[in-house]
Amino acid sequence: MTRHTPERLTFAALIDRHEAILFDAYGVLVNAAGALPGAAEAVAQLVARNQPFLVVTNDASRSPERASQRFTKLGIPVRPEHVLSSGMLIAPALDEHGARGQRVVVMGTGDSANYARQVGALVVDPDAANPADAVIIADEGGFDTLGMLDDTLSMILAAHARGQSPLLLLANPDLVYPSGAGTFGLTAGSLAGMLERALELLLGSDAPRFEVLGKPAPRHFETALERVGTRNAVMLGDTMHTDIAGASGVGIASAIVLTGVTTAAQVAAAGAHAPTYLLDGLWS
Over the stretch 248-267, which tens digit does the pLDDT of each residue have? 999 999 999 999 889 999 99
Domain ranges of the chain: 7-58+215-279, 89-212
Range 90-116 average pLDDT: 97
Nearest to 110 by CA among 80, 139, 147, 73: 139
Range 205-211 average pLDDT: 97
CATH class of residue range 7-58+215-279: alpha beta
SS (H, E, C) 138-156: CCCCCCCHHHHHHHHHHHH
Helix, strand or coil for residue 262? coil
Domains 7-58+215-279 and 89-212 share a fold: yes
Q: How far apart are CA 216 and CA 103, in angstroms?
A: 27
pLDDT tier at 3, thresholds 50, 70, 90: low
pLDDT at 1: 45
Yes or no: say if 119 and 258 are a contact pair by the CB < 8 Å rule. Answer: no
pLDDT tier at 54, thresholds 50, 70, 90: very high
Yes or no: say if 24 and 238 are a contact pair by the CB < 8 Å rule. Answer: yes
- Percent of residues, the chain, with pLDDT higher than 70: 98
Q: How far apart are CA 29 and CA 243, in angstroms?
A: 14
Is it the case that residue 157 has pLDDT exceeding 60? Answer: yes
Handedness of CA 89, 70, 28, 78 (dihedral sign): positive
pLDDT at 106: 98
Yes or no: say if 142 and 61 are a contact pair by the CB < 8 Å rule. Answer: yes
pLDDT at 4: 77
Residue 120 region by backbone torsions, left for phi larger than 0, else alpha for psi between -120 and 50, else beta: left
Q: How far apart are CA 138 and CA 188, in angstroms?
A: 6
How is domain 89-212 classified at the CATH fold level?
Rossmann fold (3.40.50)
Range 105-123 average pLDDT: 97
pLDDT tier at 183, thresholds 50, 70, 90: confident
β-pair type (183-186, 176-180): antiparallel
Cis peptide bond prior to 131, omega within 30° of 0: no
Q: How far apart are CA 248 and CA 255, in angstroms?
A: 11
Condensed to tens digits (0 to 9), the pLDDT of residues 272-282 reads: 789 999 999 99
